[in-house]
Structure 1
Amino acid sequence: MAELWASLREFLVIIAESDWLHQFGLILGITLVCWMPAKLLCRRWPLLGPGYPLYRRLTRRSVRASLWPLLSIVVGLVTLKILVRLWPQIFGESEGVISILGLLLGLRILEALTRPLDPGREDHRGLRRTLLVLLFSVVALDQLDLLNALVSFLERPIFSGANSSVTSLSILAAMGALMLMGGLASMAQHQLGHRVLPRLGVDYTLAEALATVARYFLVIAGGFWALDLLGFDLSTIGFAVGALGVGIGMGLQGIVNNFVSGLILMFERSIKRGDVLTVEGTDGKVQRIGLRASVIRSRDGEDLIMPNSIFTDNTITNYSFGDDLKLVDVAVGVSYDSDPNEIRDLLLEVAAKQDTVLERPAPLVRFRDFGASSIDFELRAWIRDPWGVPAARSDLLFAIWYALKDRGIEIPFPQHDLHLRSGELPVRMI
């Protein structure tokens, strides 16, 4: 700890003796003065919409991004020339100011060019900006002659072990590695799952599976990279993790089973996102397939989070597997006075008028049975939306009701005759 305080005092002495404060103040003042005029100039070059060619949009974006640093460089050159002539002993060695402003120009243009690559992801944009800010900070510290002093201070050990020591620099490097790999993992998952693999003709569910595996791989690699930066022996850690994994695996068999089931679902593709299925007596649509659990949205709008082992260990009815055709059955009972041929033609006519009913396979009417109070028919029609079966059946029932009513065809209700066989009963008048 004494060495740490000593190095801190040395670092503060270097800062106090350097002329970085004048240069920093000069940079801050120039950029603040030029910010508002650059903002006003940007209004003359509004951003172009998606209807314009990409090169025009990138050019316009680059021009807007470079106005502020370009104006700062021009003002900085003039200001520095005046200050050096007036106070050469203070600003005589301030050439680094222009270099820093030039770096700001390059980073602004780079950020403007990379922004359209992923416009809908704020976390990815934040990662790019963080990396650019870190790069700018390192180069700026080097131009101000503070980088070596800062590195020397951060390299002092905080605590030491048997074979290695941990420094502030190693901790910062490990944190940076975790942040970098985490951001890259998220970006890689999005790019692979939504852009690269689908454009190569890979199925959407398989693309998501591969992208998810790539993300976990990068995150794990980032963890090992951070441990290596901290000075840990990876071979020893690997052995310890393996031994610990055996013990934990015995108690986490359910989680491991769900994890493996998730991989099976993603690669086998027997259940995909958007499929309509019945699982444990509940009809729902698959919203997302994760590595541990999947999200099923019921017809009531409720999101059910189900472990993946349910889908691999049980029989699941998948109405979207193979094709999206679904049969809709509607039972109809009419009076015995009705003509069966007329009823058949009427039901087929009703089905033909429905927009959701397909012509091929053609609708079919079956004479089911002679009921107790009615003759029973069944209309069988095909639709191309498994999720729309209740709505299609409801539309058919509405149409059948009005069609029967217009034709004067009766829909009977059950009638029962009661026969009393107990002989004569006494009747008393009150």
Structure 2
Amino acid sequence: MYSWILAELNTLPPAVALVTVVVGSILAAAAVEQVGVRLLRRMSRSTENGFDDILIDELRLPLVVTVALAGVFLLTTDDGVLAALSVEAESRNALFNRPALTLLLVVWAWSLNTIVNRGVRAVKDGGPRFDFAPVFSNVWTIVLATGTVALALSIWQIDVTPLVAGAGVAGIAVGFAAKDTVANFFGGIALYFDDTYKIGDYVVLDSGEKGTVVTVGVRSTTLQTRDEVLVTVPNAVLNSAKIVNESAPKSRRRIRVPMSVAYGTDIDAFEAAVLDVTAAERLVLDGPQPRMRFRSFGDSGLNYELLCWVHSPIRAARATHELNRAIYRRLDELDIEIPFRKMDVTLAGATETVRDHSEASPGDD
């Protein structure tokens, strides 16, 4: 096909062939825009996937530009029109081929980068599981930009060896200077693959910090405590720390409310009273059902533990507070004794001291 087109162009006068190639390229680009792209858009409407719309939107420009510039390469071949007009090969490359290739490279790189970035945004909006997706978008942009610059220099026959060597030395220097940032970056990627947490989860760190995850960045993760204080933790620290995610695998949280009752108490009536109070508390879930557990015989009473569930970890403290208040009132109404520790202290020599003081004469000091 390519040889046939060249052969047909060579049968024409150079000026006519030049105009034919230019006009043909423009018409072909218009056909791709008006017919091909519209046909693809119509086909994409029958699918529920939004990624095909992104591909069509972003590939439209590079496809049209590629078809429009196809005539440039027909003109600049050794058998092309420009050669017939006695234009030297180096001049053809400098004035036509290299600029056209550079333009194609930039347009395609820009479109590919936009496709990935739009896809990342679509995935990120689809759920908190992909909160780390912007990290990969940034990496893709850096890699694509670097590759585009290298290919553009190669097209213009610029020796990149000194630049590569200099970049290697600079990379080593930057790596040492920004080792913490690099560690945080890869720590964030590791946390993403481990699926340690996501935005909205309530986490507890081994250092004592605990709160709700509000932002997940390339360098750090931010927690909001119950005191509405933001705590920023580097991803490298999180990657090496012990993290308790109280919101996973489900958001509900079981709470334990310890209590004691005096020896001699009717434990059946006591357990029923506590369970009735628990069932009436709106913060406590109906299922799994609350239950009482007799844990041990204490020094002053029988040690029990109430086990029940709340909707999320951030409601645990509030639910414990409300249950303690309601249980205390209910047991007080039923005259069920809540034991407390009693201690008898005997002071050695106290009796002799009192006796000596009582026998002393009024005038003695």
When normalised by structure 1's length, the TM-score is 0.50
The answer as to 2:183 corresponding to 1:257 is yes
User: What is aligned with 1:369?
Assistant: 296
- Structure 2: gaps (5+ residues): 1-105
Contact 1:186–1:215 (Cα < 8 Å) also in 2: no
User: What is aligned with 1:414?
Assistant: 341
User: What is aligned with 1:426?
Assistant: 356
Identity across the alignment (%)? 26
Amino acid at match of 2:224: R
- In the TM superposition, what are the counterparts of 1:84-103 in structure 2 within 5 Å? none
Contact 2:210–2:225 (Cα < 8 Å) also in 1: yes
Note closer, same or farther for the CA distance 1:197–1:274 as it changes in structure 2 (3 Å cut): closer
Residues of 2 paired with 1:379 and 1:394: CA distance? 13
Task: Kindly state the Cα deviation for residue 188 of structure 1 after the two structures are TM-superposed.
Answer: 6.9
The answer as to 2:198 corresponding to 1:272 is yes
Task: Kindly state the Cα deviation for residue 380 of structure 1 after the two structures are TM-superposed.
Answer: 1.2
Contact 1:277–1:317 (Cα < 8 Å) also in 2: yes
**Residue deviations 1:179-216 (CA, integer Å, cap 9, x gap):** xx7xx989975x545535655xxx5332x323332244
Answer with 402-411 or 257-266: which moved more.
402-411
Contact 2:120–2:137 (Cα < 8 Å) also in 1: no
User: What is aligned with 1:288?
Assistant: 215
User: What is aligned with 1:218?
Assistant: 141
Contact 2:212–2:224 (Cα < 8 Å) also in 1: yes
2:235 maps to which of 302, 308, 311? 308
Task: Kindly state the Cα deviation for residue 294 of structure 1 after the two structures are TM-superposed.
Answer: 0.8
- In the TM superposition, what are the counterparts of 1:177-196 in structure 2 within 5 Å? 189=117, 191-196=118-123
The answer as to 2:173 corresponding to 1:247 is yes
Amino acid at match of 1:211: P
- In the TM superposition, what are the counterparts of 1:26-425 in structure 2 within 5 Å? 189=117, 191-196=118-123, 198-199=125-126, 203-206=127-130, 208-218=131-141, 221=144, 236-279=162-205, 280-419=207-346, 422=349, 424=352, 425=355
**Residue deviations 1:153-175 (CA, integer Å, cap 9, x gap):** xxxxxxxxxxxxxxxxxxxxxxx
Indicate the RMSD between aligned Cα atoms, in angstroms. Answer: 3.7
**Residue deviations 1:3-29 (CA, integer Å, cap 9, x gap):** xxxxxxxxxxxxxxxxxxxxxxxxxxx
Residues of 2 paired with 1:235 and 1:211: CA distance? 32
Residues of 1 paired with 2:240 and 2:295: CA distance? 37
**3-state SS in 2 of match to 1:361:** coil
User: What is aligned with 1:154?
Assistant: none
Contact 1:185–1:219 (Cα < 8 Å) also in 2: no
Structure having the higher Rg? 2
Note closer, same or farther for the CA distance 1:419–1:215 as it changes in structure 2 (3 Å cut): closer
Amino acid at match of 2:192: M
User: What is aligned with 1:80?
Assistant: none
**Residue deviations 1:241-294 (CA, integer Å, cap 9, x gap):** 233112321343222111101111123312211111111112211111111111
**3-state SS in 2 of match to 1:355:** coil
Note closer, same or farther for the CA distance 1:185–1:384 as it changes in structure 2 (3 Å cut): farther
Task: Kindly state the Cα deviation for residue 234 of structure 1 after the two structures are TM-superposed.
Answer: 5.9
Task: Kindly state the Cα deviation for residue 327 of structure 1 after the two structures are TM-superposed.
Answer: 1.7
Note closer, same or farther for the CA distance 1:408–1:187 as it changes in structure 2 (3 Å cut): farther
Residues of 1 paired with 2:236 and 2:159: CA distance? 37
Note closer, same or farther for the CA distance 1:338–1:263 as it changes in structure 2 (3 Å cut): same
Note closer, same or farther for the CA distance 1:204–1:309 as it changes in structure 2 (3 Å cut): same
**Residue deviations 1:372-394 (CA, integer Å, cap 9, x gap):** 33332211112231222111211
Note closer, same or farther for the CA distance 1:197–1:299 as it changes in structure 2 (3 Å cut): closer
Contact 1:334–1:411 (Cα < 8 Å) also in 2: yes
Note closer, same or farther for the CA distance 1:211–1:248 as it changes in structure 2 (3 Å cut): closer
Residues of 1 paired with 2:159 and 2:221: CA distance? 37
Residues of 2 paired with 1:378 and 1:212: CA distance? 46
Residues of 1 paired with 2:197 and 2:187: CA distance? 11
Note closer, same or farther for the CA distance 1:316–1:362 as it changes in structure 2 (3 Å cut): same
Task: Kindly state the Cα deviation for residue 320 of structure 1 after the two structures are TM-superposed.
Answer: 2.0
**3-state SS in 2 of match to 1:426:** helix
Contact 1:283–1:298 (Cα < 8 Å) also in 2: yes
